[in-house]
Amino acid sequence: MSTPLHANGASGGWIAQEEGSVKTALVTGAAGFIGSHVVRELLSEGVHVRCLVRPGERTDNLDGLVVEIREGDVRDPAAVGRAVKGVDTVFHLAAVYAIWMPDWSKIYEVNVQGSRNVLWACLRGGVGRVVFTSSIAAIGIAPGRGVSSEKTPFNQYTLGSHYVLTKYLSQQEALGFAANGLDVVVVNPCFPFGPMDIAPTPTGQIIVDILRGVSRFSFPGGINVVDVRDVARGHICAARRGKTGELYVLGNRNIAMDDFVRLVCRVAGIDGRIVFKVPVPLMKIGTAALSWLSDHVTRRPPLSTPVEIAYASQYLYFDNTKAVTELGMSFRDVEASIAESVAWFRSRGYA
């Protein structure tokens, strides 16, 4: 077997231990938005990539790529054990990212128990390094317009977001395994945009809704925007240079929601004067009505929910200094990334 991408807490490389041996990485959630970009980054480095995808999952993002496909569910310990056998490095990205679900039990089964299954399989299977994809949702939010970092204590316990809570709980699982002998590095992506968001993710849906004219609203709060390809590259940098048991924020530009909506409008050629500022309490009332319709009538995700408005109306600003200094990260121009995202959605008929 070849050496892991990074070993023993020191800067590693992609050089195999024996001449002619093959470097192999497993990517869970490989067909997803970030996961498929991680797969492409690994292939560009000459790594043999094994992709774990759910049975019947849409795999458009992997079409044409020379990869090994394994079907399996992270909720199935046996399937996970088979998937990690013989790999050097595991990139765990499989997760449910949703603002509404008819039954929230699945998000805990996948995000928490599924992550635990992957971590146990890696420990038992002697995997050299695990890059664990968490989220900035698992990090605390600084008060006001303050900027959060990897050291900001989690403080969203009472928010009521199942997604936020499961990302925090699964991150704690990963850190627990790191403290008990598994070489785990955690990355915390911010709000990624770019091509190939086929679902689309709730993040990409923001742009789709603006393009369709469904949402031209803004409210107090802000986000950190980053290109999905930079997030993917951050995973590779974490595998090479990240320190065991450490978190790394993968984000780029902090931007107020009002400015973000107007940025999308500008690059899309939409008149930014039709963006309306709406008070947060009114947004919560409106989204409560939409959530009720989803719960009792449509059984489809609403435009937003009161919980999501409560989270997004905070200033979700993050500092990427640690990723830049320790991982050697650099980032694309955000406006260009948004423009590519807009063009991709339009070219495929989303808007």
- pLDDT band of residue 142 (cuts 50, 70, 90) is very high
pLDDT beyond 80 at 44: yes
**pLDDT at residue 351, rounded to an integer:** 86
| pLDDT tens by residue, 1-29 | 334 454 334 333 443 333 334 489 999 99
The phi, psi pair for 241, rounded to 5°, reads -120, -10
Contact between 166 and 99 under an 8 Å Cβ cutoff? The reply is: no
- What is the pLDDT at residue 16? 33
Query: Can you say whether the dihedral through the CA atoms of 185, 189, 195, 197 is positive or negative?
Result: positive
Residue 255: phi and psi, rounded to 5, are -145, 135
Query: What pLDDT sits at residue 272?
Result: 67
Quick one: pLDDT at residue 18?
36
Question: How many CA within 13 A on the CB side of residue 282?
Answer: 8
On whether the CB atoms of residues 265 and 207 are closer than 8 A, the answer is: no
With a CB cutoff of 8 Å and minimum separation 6, the contacts of 57 are 31
The mean-pLDDT minimum among 4-13, 188-197, 227-236, 319-328 falls in 4-13
The structure tokens listed for 322 are: 């640690």
Q: What is the pLDDT of residue 274?
A: 66
> For residue 189, with 0-12 CB atoms within 10 Å meaning exposed, 13-18 middle and 19 or more buried, which class applies?
buried
CATH superfamily, region 24-193+226-252+317-332: NAD(P)-binding Rossmann-like Domain (3.40.50.720)
- Confidence at residue 251, expressed as pLDDT on a 0 to 100 scale: 98
Which of 320, 321, 319, 313 shows the shortest CA–CA distance to 144?
313
| CA–CA dist 215, 211 (Å, integer) | 8
Predicted model pTM: 0.92
Long-range pairs for 244-247: beta carbons < 8 A, 24 or more residues apart: 244/9, 244/178, 244/183, 244/184, 244/185, 245/175, 245/178, 245/179, 245/184, 245/185, 245/186, 246/150, 246/185, 246/186, 246/326, 247/134, 247/139, 247/150, 247/171, 247/186, 247/187, 247/188, 247/322
pLDDT over 50 at 249, yes or no: yes
User: What pLDDT is stored for residue 7 in this prediction?
Assistant: 39
Long-range Cβ pairs for the range 20-25 (8 Å, 24+) = 22/48, 23/47, 23/48, 23/88, 24/48, 24/49, 24/50, 24/86, 24/87, 24/88, 24/89, 25/49, 25/50, 25/87, 25/88, 25/89, 25/90, 25/91
Question: What is the pLDDT of the chain when averaged over all its residues?
Answer: 91
Q: In this predicted model, what pLDDT tens digit does every residue of 260-295 receive, in sequence order?
A: 999 999 999 998 666 777 888 888 999 999 999 999
Q: Supply the DSSP symbol for 122.
A: H
pLDDT tens track for 318-351 = 999 999 999 999 999 999 999 999 999 999 999 8
Structure tokens at 251: 């984000």
Residue-wise pLDDT for 303-315, tens only, equals: 889 999 899 899 9
